[in-house]
Chain A
Amino acid sequence: MIRLEGVHKVFYKKDKAIKALDNVSLEIATGEIFGIIGYSGSGKSTLVRTINLLERPTAGDIYLAGQAVTTLSDKQLIHIRRRIGMIFQHFNLLSSQTVYGNIAFPLTLTDMPKAQIEIRVDELLELIDLKDKKYDFPASLSGGQKQRVAIARALASKPEILLCDEATSALDPQTTRSILSLLKRINLELGITIVLITHQMEVVRAICHRVAVISQGKIVEKNSVEHLFNHAKSPITQELLNPSLIID
């Protein structure tokens, strides 16, 4: 479904080159929940953004369902992006739009008729269980509710892939659990491939099938979740598995 081959990304900050991604190769299967875990600054956010080309890789290729996407023009990318939903740590909802307006937003970018949009939004409100908030503004919602709306918005155009960038990092453990169970349900019922970026091992443990550990722009370990938990090889993975806040 998603294949990254030798992806590099270099940022320039005042002539200083920063390697955000260093020869990353990954293959993510259809219907899989794939976790990418790493500390902040490890390059995981850049990595997930190369999948929908929000960040263009400096070198390397990306294939979605067998199609090379790195060579596409910005105009062609628009169509690819409509097949990939994305949710974020800070939800990124439009403050000027109601819940309805936010979920309808990606659909209004196309020529979909209004009546059809209304039907689709109602389906999604049902899915995220927020029918009674249809005409509320995001400011009046809790964090968990905002993320639900963001999920509905990401699913509106019936994507094949859902990218989650630290989607639960701003939420408390209880809300995190409910969002994760919603993601799991989406994966099971709709068969959507999910790529999930996080720094929390519990998140990976809760819903991921496979996981890659990233550090300094490199994939240091890649395995099934069970295997990783039992046979962690790299020191970074071990540290992520046993986080400690003890200062010595």
Chain B
Amino acid sequence: MSEATFWLLAKGTWETLVMTFSSGFFSFLLGLPLGIILFLTRERQLLANKSVNRTTAFFVNIFRSIPFIILIVWMIPFTRALVGTSIGMKAAIVPLSIGAAPFVARLVENCLLEIPYGIIEAARSMGASTVQIVRRVLMPEALPALVNSGSLTLITLVGYSAMGGAVGAGGLGHIGYQYGYVGYDAFIMNMVLLLLIGIVFGIQFLGDRLSKRVDHRK
């Protein structure tokens, strides 16, 4: 491997990691509250409210229906307004975060549904407010499941960010596109593949370990 190739791949890996983790962070920033709203406004839950629940679910479903590659292109004007450019790593983080947020919202809702209702009822009986129940009961009780959802989201984002590479997002996806689709370089293609696999395995491994550490259910 030439030094140039090495640095090309190193830079690509770095960019993919930055895109994955920062959009993972932002997608949770958006998706976590959305998921909590979806859960709390469900029938018979603390803030049961059919219209809020339906409206939130409607927008979540719309954004989940848009194929990611279309979303990136569609969002270009918005991305440009927000970060000043529509190409490169920084620009890709915008659609990646928006694209993953509804996915995260649904994952969070499912994590919260796993908590036995009796635990919420017990907290209510002790005079906990809704905010206290969310912060002190729902979040810690769902933590192991939330960590798993985090790894799942990050892995999905590795894939999304690679897709984004085709439309100027940078990272390993971009290298794969340039050296594979435009002119086939078997060595670089294989390296890109191996690196992507390595990243995914690494995220899953660390996620599983972290989830186990915070899980006291058995």
Contact = CB atoms under 8 A, between A and B. Distances in A.
Which applies to chain B's interface (DSSP): helix, strand, loop or mixed? helix
Given A90-B116, A94-B137, A96-B141, A106 B216 contact: no
B186 interface: no
Contact of B127 (A88, A90, A93, A109): A109
A95 B217 contact: yes
A54 interface: yes
Given A96-B140, A137-B216, A139-B216, A109 B132 contact: yes
A128 to B, nearest CB: 17
Interface-central residue, A54, A80, A109, A139, by most chain B CB under 10 Å: A109
A105 B136 contact: yes
Contacts of A216: none
Interface in A89-146: 90, 92-97, 105-106, 108-109, 137-139
How many residues of B sit at the interface, in one of the four size bands?
20 to 34
B182 interface: no
A54 B121 contact: yes
Interface in A51-104: 52, 54, 77-82, 84-86, 88, 90, 92-97
A157 interface: yes
Contact of A82 (B127, B137, B143): B127
Interface of A: 52, 54, 77-82, 84-86, 88, 90, 92-97, 105-106, 108-109, 137-139, 150, 153-154, 157, 163
Interface of B: 116, 118-119, 121-129, 132, 136-137, 140-141, 143, 214, 216-218
